[in-house]
Amino acid sequence: MIDSQLRTSGVNEPWVLAAMAALPREDFVPEAQKAAAYIDRAVPLGNGRYLAAPLVHGKMLAAAEPAKTDKVLLVTSGSTYLAALLGPLVGALTQVDAADVANGIAGAPYGLIIIDGAIEQLPDALVGALADDGRIVSGLVDRGVTRLALGRKAAGAVSFVALSDLGIPVLPEFAAPKGWSF
């Protein structure tokens, strides 16, 4: 995984590689999926949830640049793998399942929010939970293509910059309302 997926795709930060090398992915998937824990695509966890590919998590960590001074909110997608990677790297980590975001976010504001999946729209609850000048790392869905993106909050709004096209599992909880356009 380190040499064939991460390094060859530009994830070369020693702290990211060390964290991912030390944490066995097979401990975070169902028994039937253990043999597939290191493949270069999302691993199904059941109930429409996935463990993202190693490259997705490596690039998310590199983009987030977590620090011991960070108070982090992690929006999970059915797996605790990214939380286990992040925990030792940050000062405080709070997790919330994507399905529970609509119920509100406790402990705000957060200087860093990481969404373990791709979203069509950023919920107001997450915008409100992010501190001014805080950063957010997520996948974004744009016309069916998922991209890793880094966002920053200024003047009460979050603006994203796409970093790279990646196959990131889509979180249905953050789908844009369906509409018709001409």
Interval 33-59: pLDDT, tens? 999 999 999 999 999 999 999 999 999
The runs of H, that is alpha helices, within 53-166 are 54-64, 81-86, 124-129
Residue 139 tokens, joined: 């996948």
User: What residues does 95 pair with on adjacent strands?
Assistant: 74
pLDDT over 80 at 181, yes or no: no
The rounded distance, in Å, linking the Cα atoms of 110 and 133 is 10
Residue 63 tokens, joined: 């983009």
The angle that helices 54-64 and 14-22 make with each other, rounded to 10 degrees, is 140
With beta carbons less than 8 A apart as the criterion, state whether 1 and 20 touch. Answer: yes
Give the pLDDT of residue 23.
97
Give the pLDDT of residue 180.
77
Give the pLDDT of residue 177.
87
User: Residue 65 class from Cβ within 10 Å (0-12 exposed, 13-18 middle, 19+ buried)?
Assistant: middle
Tokens 């996935």 sit at which residue?
Answer: 50
**Mean model confidence pLDDT for the chain:** 96
For the chain, the structural domain boundaries read 2-172
Give the pLDDT of residue 179.
78
Residue 80 tokens, joined: 């605790």
Higher pLDDT among residues 3 and 178, named by residue: 3
Q: Tell me which CATH code domain 2-172 carries.
A: 3.40.50.150
pTM surpassing 0.75? yes
Residue 121 tokens, joined: 């729209």
Tens digit of each residue's pLDDT (9 = 90 or more) over 87-106 = 999 999 999 999 999 999 99
Four-CA torsion 36, 38, 173, 76, nearest 10 degrees: 120
